[in-house]
Amino acid sequence: MEKSVYERPDGRKIDELRKIKIVPSVLTRADGSAYIEWGQNKAIVGVFGPREALPQHIQNPTKALVNYVYRMATFSVPERKSAKPGRREIEISKVSGEALESAIFVERFANATIDIYAYLFDSNAGTRCAALTAASVALADAGIPMRDLVPACAVGRANGQLIVDPCKEEEDAEDAVDMPMAILPRNKEVVLLQMDGLLSLEEWKKAFHLGLNGCMQVYEIQKKAIKEKYESIEKEDKKAIEALNEEMECLESEGQNSAEGDYVEG
């Protein structure tokens, strides 16, 4: 990476992501769920299904329907937003749902629906990428078969410099360009790519490369979050088995002592 004279507002390198934290299995009533903190962004995602698609006239006999709902809380932005979903939320719901559908083996669940609800509670640029990243982990948490996880990351331009994961100040720069993208990491298939602003062909090639690298970094964080969950479950299972074995040994010991006592009395 070439050394840059541009200093980012939060002190990051131009190819450095904000801090990301992902926690799977945070909702007890959902089939799968995940919580994400990405910089200031905070979102929670719940997955329900696969389940019968109702009403029946929406059913597809060849595949499951993927219903992705992206919503921002009224208090998630500095100026209170309307509770009614806007055009931006409807658009993001559509393109994000299509990105996730590319990863899911939808052909295995005829006449079914997979409902994914993503809610943002705090925001500071890159919310669609944060929600989509968490949704992918929530799908894995639900045990829904997928070709791959779907990591997302935005790349952009601010003050003449191409950067990864722009913050709000950088999104508001005079020459700002924002390009969110998502991929299937194993074959680098792009499943979401949007751009707000204009880039030259050379800038676009560099930005795309930066975005791919950013997505791969997010992918590692997703895998780590899922792995840590199952390592935790494994530890809890081992403790439960050890406690059960100790209890069985105590019961066997008490039974032997009781039998010996009966024999002596006889």
pLDDT tens digits for 119-164? Answer: 999 999 999 999 999 999 999 999 999 999 999 999 999 999 999 9
Q: Is residue 215 part of a domain?
A: yes
Beta-carbon contacts of 117 under 8 Å, excluding residues fewer than 6 positions away, are 45, 46, 47, 48, 69, 71
* Global model pTM greater than 0.85: yes
pLDDT attached to residue 263: 52
- Given a cut of 80, whether residue 107 has pLDDT beyond it is yes
Structure tokens at 215: 């997505």
Structure tokens at 150: 């779907």
Are 256 and 171 spatial neighbours (Cβ–Cβ below 8 Å)? no
Beta-carbon contacts of 20 under 8 Å, excluding residues fewer than 6 positions away, are 36, 37, 38, 39, 133, 218, 221
Arithmetic mean of pLDDT, 224-234:
87
Are 125 and 171 spatial neighbours (Cβ–Cβ below 8 Å)? yes
Structural domain total, the chain: 1
Q: Which amino acid is at 147?
A: R
Are 183 and 190 spatial neighbours (Cβ–Cβ below 8 Å)? yes
- Given a cut of 90, whether residue 248 has pLDDT beyond it is no
Q: What is the pLDDT of residues 175-205, one digit of tens each?
A: 999 999 999 999 999 999 999 999 999 999 9
- Given a cut of 60, whether residue 1 has pLDDT beyond it is no
Q: Is residue 4 part of a domain?
A: no
Q: How many C-beta atoms lie closer than 10 Å to residue 147's C-beta?
A: 13
pLDDT attached to residue 230: 86
Are 47 and 139 spatial neighbours (Cβ–Cβ below 8 Å)? yes
Q: Is residue 42 part of a domain?
A: yes
Q: Tell me the C-alpha distance between 219 and 46, whole Å.
A: 20
Q: Which domain covers residue 111, as residue numbers? A: 20-265
Beta-carbon contacts of 46 under 8 Å, excluding residues fewer than 6 positions away, are 27, 29, 30, 32, 33, 116, 117, 138
pLDDT band at 266 (very low <50, low <70, confident <90, very high): very low
Mean pLDDT taken over the chain: 91
Structure tokens at 14: 């131009």
CATH of the domain at 132: 3.30.230.70
CA distances (Å), 210 to each of 179, 200, 206, 207, in order? 11, 15, 6, 5
Residue 173 DSSP label = S
Q: Is residue 27 part of a domain?
A: yes
* Phi, psi of 144, deg, nearest 5: -80, 125
* Phi, psi of 45, deg, nearest 5: -130, 135
Are 123 and 77 spatial neighbours (Cβ–Cβ below 8 Å)? yes
Q: Is residue 11 part of a domain?
A: no
Q: What is the pLDDT of residues 126-136, one digit of tens each?
A: 999 999 999 99
Arithmetic mean of pLDDT, 207-232:
95
Residue identified by tokens 């070709």 is: 147
Q: Is residue 8 part of a domain?
A: no
Are 33 and 27 spatial neighbours (Cβ–Cβ below 8 Å)? yes
CA distances (Å), 36 to each of 2, 29, 132, 137, 155, in order? 31, 18, 10, 10, 19
pLDDT attached to residue 241: 73
Q: Is residue 9 part of a domain?
A: no
Q: Is residue 14 part of a domain?
A: no
Q: pLDDT: is 257 or 60 the higher one?
A: 60
